[in-house]
Amino acid sequence: MTTIPFDLNFTARKLLHLISRKDVTGDDKRKNTVPDFLKQKDKKSDSINNGPKSKTLSLYENKSFVEQKPVAIITGATSGIGKEFAYRFASLGFNLIITGRRKNIISQTASEIIKNYKVNVKVVIADLSVKKDMDNLLKTIEAQKNIEVLVNNAGFGLYETFETHKIKNQLTMLKVHVAAPVILIDKVIPQMVINKKGIIINVTSLAAYTPTAHNAMYTSTKSFLTSYSESLAMQLQKYGIHVQCLCPGFTITDFHKKADYQKNLLPAGIVNWMSPSQVVDYSLEHLKNGKVICIPGAANRFLMHLISIVPRKMYYYLTNHYYRIGIHDKSKQYA
């Protein structure tokens, strides 16, 4: 077995620490950093509150939802990156269809968006691994004739090693991370092709390029969605459809807070945390130039370069040595 000298471990750790300190900084204010083709001229809204309907909460919905404004669909919009995308597209004049599992929280988010941006919002309470919930979401999408944006952001982490896993949890992850995005993309593409325009943003993870011992299924599903996004981007470009694969590193969201990532990794000085606002800034900025693989953060991009040149045996050693996360059975959190 290859033995890595201690001084090499120390050097790699310090190098990552120094680079990460030069990463994106600043406050968490939402910027208007967007390509021109996303900006909407019509900012008017004729909203009427019709109240909740089944699992779809139709807030301030009327005919203007269908006839006037373009629609952005965002999954996993309860918090974090998905919530930030919802605010950002609302600020651009898009009506929204947003999904999440925590009804009280996402309904509050919808109310805030409506109040601040005067757009229409449909909240679909859905677990994307459940067929009935997916069918309800697809039915909601079918009623829209002007869908221009799809953000596949929903996801969760499993904090259990594969040898101690519960296969039900692993298969649920496959449904949420792989099957749901593919089904939703299939649903919106025909309309986007006819309209000769559209944006599909698949939120994967830096983990797609950094397999670890404790995240076999998570990193594998993210790797699939990354490769799938690249293929789609090449295939759909001729129709004016922009496909982006957003690969954030460690981001300050409920996802990481509940996993105690900050507690376990920040003291080591390895990780530079980004805010959801910074991640979404980077995503929207690079829609301008058609960039497909988007990795926010200079430290994360440096890490990707480093991983590409480090021998695999050394990578395995360093990953196992520094990736100190807790393994909590029965613990999972949707983004």
Catalytic residues: 218, 222
Token reading at 296? 């926010």
State the Cα–Cα distance between residues 214 and 253, nearest whole angstrom.
Answer: 20
Given strand 121-125, what is the order of strands in its sheet? 52-53, 56-59, 121-125, 95-100, 71-74, 147-152, 198-203, 241-246, 293-294
Alpha carbon 262 to its chain centroid, in Å, reads 19
Phi, psi for residue 71 in degrees, rounded to 5: -115, 135
State the Cα–Cα distance between residues 284 and 292, nearest whole angstrom.
Answer: 12
Task: Please state, as a whole number, how many other Cβ atoms lie within 10 Å of the Cβ of residue 331.
Answer: 16
Please, which residues bridge with residue 71 across strands? 95, 147
- Coil, strand or helix at 245: strand
